Amino acid sequence: MIKRKAKKKVPEINASSMADISFLLLAFFLMTTTMDVDTGIARRLPPPVPPTEKPPDIKERNILNVMISKNDRILINNRLADVYMLKDQAKEFLSNPYNSPDLPEKRWDTIPALGGLFEVSKGVISLKNDRGTSYEMYITVQDELTKAVNELRDELSRRKFGVAFSSLKNDEDIEAIRKAIPISISEAEPEEYK
């Protein structure tokens, strides 16, 4: 019952409007796309401490107390300070270039990529803030401390590999520098408020 029509030509579909349609789609995706990259200061939170556990004893010389009051004032070792002083103080604290007895001790650690033994600082920056501290100030302080660590890493990287830390390509080298100058910022457990 099916009739087969012989030699019937299929008319060609006009494809000239395809460009218009695809332009329309293109315009839609152009509008909705967001190219902004999210940036931020990366941190690792410590695991929760069981309430029975006592905090580890750290020698006084190994701690740099940074406290931000509720009025956004900064106290370094209980002395009023300015944000701009923070970076240099933190750098001096973490590097202890002249092995001063007031600044942190160092321990020997084997880091093969840096040529065997390397002195790693035992210093810990203890960061405390009030519940009333503004987030902006907190980020500024975190930023300054990160800057201190990054500058130290940069100096070490230039000394050992001749390039800035950010332009290191080898994962092993990056890991070595990270290990040699860790981000040792400890945030105080929030106190219970009644």
Partner 1 sequence: MGNFIRGGKKEVPAISTASMPDIVFMLIFFFMITTTMRQSDPLVKASVPEASQVEKLERKSLVSYIFVGPPTNSKLGNEARIQLNDSFATVDDIPNFIFAERESRDEIDRKFLTTSIKADKSVRMGVIIDIKQQLREVGAFKLSYSARKEVEK
Residues that bind partner 1 (CB under 8 A): 15, 18-19, 22-23, 25-26, 29-30, 32-35, 37-48, 129-136, 138-140, 142-143, 146-147, 150, 190
Residue closer to partner 1 (CB basis): 62 or 182 = 182
Q: Are 156 and 147 in contact (CB under 8 A)?
A: no
Q: At its nearest, how many Å lie between partner 1 and the CB of residue 6?
A: 31
- Of 89, 45, 190, 72, nearest to 136 by C-alpha is 72
Cα separation of 44 and 140, whole Å?
18
Q: What is the CA radius of gyration of the chain?
A: 29
Residue closer to partner 1 (CB basis): 98 or 135 = 135
Q: Are 99 and 39 in contact (CB under 8 A)?
A: no
Q: At its nearest, how many Å lie between partner 1 and the CB of residue 140?
A: 7
Cα separation of 127 and 154, whole Å?
23
Cα separation of 118 and 177, whole Å?
10
Residue closer to partner 1 (CB basis): 133 or 184 = 133
Q: At its nearest, how many Å lie between partner 1 and the CB of residue 84?
A: 13
Residue closer to partner 1 (CB basis): 33 or 78 = 33
Residue closer to partner 1 (CB basis): 43 or 158 = 43
Q: At its nearest, how many Å lie between partner 1 and the CB of residue 125?
A: 15
Cα separation of 152 and 18, whole Å?
58
Q: At its nearest, how many Å lie between partner 1 and the CB of residue 12?
A: 13
Q: Are 165 and 103 in contact (CB under 8 A)?
A: no
